[in-house]
Amino acid sequence: MWSRKRLKLLFYHSVQVYRDKEGKAVSRDELEAARKAELEKKAKERKTPEWAAGLRQQRDAAERRAATAAEAAKPFARSKCASHQPWRCPAQ
């Protein structure tokens, strides 16, 4: 019915039409701005409030992390003797 050549010539200068949710024709920039605004709105809704995770549990976890970091900063050998040979340690 339609030859490829005729279809190619017919749709060569055609422009894509972007439509919003109501079906109105909008520009591509307007559509992208609307989608971006919608994504930002959803991101704000998804963000959990600070109190939802438990303030006391958050403080306890921070204290545990600080204690672990302090323990990791200590030297590995914790003997009274400076030498690494306990059988020669004068402190015993």
Report phi then psi at 35, rounded to 5. -65, -40
Residue 74 Ramachandran class (φ > 0 left, ψ -120 to 50 alpha, else beta): beta
Domain coordinates in residue numbering, the chain: 1-45
Task: Render pLDDT for 32-91 as a digit per residue (tens, 0 to 9).
Answer: 999 999 999 988 888 777 777 788 888 999 999 999 999 888 877 665 565 556 566 665
Judge if pTM exceeds 0.75.
no
Radius of gyration of the chain (CA): 34
Task: Render pLDDT for 3-42 as a digit per residue (tens, 0 to 9).
Answer: 888 877 877 777 888 888 888 998 889 999 999 999 999 8
38, two tokens:
């919608």
Residue 18's nearest CA partner among 7, 8, 32 is 32
Counting beta carbons within 10 angstroms of the beta carbon of residue 81, is it exposed (0 to 12), middle (13 to 18) or buried (19 or more)?
middle
